[in-house]
Amino acid sequence: AAGVIQSPRHLIKEKRETATLKCYPIPRHDTVYWYQQGPGQDPQFLISFYEKMQSDKGSIPDRFSAQQFSDYHSELNMSSLELGDSALYFCASSLGRLIEGEDTEAFFGQGTRLTVV
**Contact residues for another protein, defined by CB under 8 A:** 31, 33, 35, 37, 42-43, 45, 48, 50, 55-56, 88, 90, 92, 94, 96-98, 104-111
* Residue closer to another protein (CB basis): 37 or 79: 37
Considering the complex, state which of residue 81 and residue 93 has its C-beta at the smaller distance from another protein: 93
Residue 83 phi, psi (nearest 5): -55, -35
Query: Given the complex with another protein, which of 31 and 68 has the nearer CB atom?
Result: 31
87-94/64-68 β-pairing: unpaired
Q: Name 48's bridge partners.
A: 33, 56
Sign, CA torsion 58/60/40/9:
positive
State the minimum distance, in angstroms, from the CB of residue 10 to another protein.
12
